[in-house]
Amino acid sequence: MKSEMIDRMRAALDAMDPVTRTVFERVRLDGRDYVQIAEELGLTIREVEQRFADALLQIWRHLDRADRP
């Protein structure tokens, strides 16, 4: 079951646009804050916040869809 969840997460990440995925990875995997990410990617802090929220929503929707019969 754990490997199935990991596969679902990978599929959700693969479905994201590259900038949204990068923001998600830098927040969750690298532990960077929004200010650092905004500077690195040339985005506003608000754009980073929105991209991160979009990433979480996309993951949630993808996992929710996978649980339905």
C-beta separation of 12 from 22 below 8 A? no
What's the pTM value of the predicted model, to 2 decimals? 0.85
Closest CA to 59 of 30, 33, 32, 23: 23
Architecture of domain 2-67 in this structure: Orthogonal Bundle (1.10)
C-beta separation of 7 from 49 below 8 A? no
Which tokens is 11 given? 């599929």
Give residue-wise pLDDT tens across range 15-34. 999 999 999 999 999 999 99
C-beta separation of 55 from 16 below 8 A? yes
Give residue-wise pLDDT tens across range 47-69. 999 999 999 999 998 887 656 65
pLDDT at 53: 98
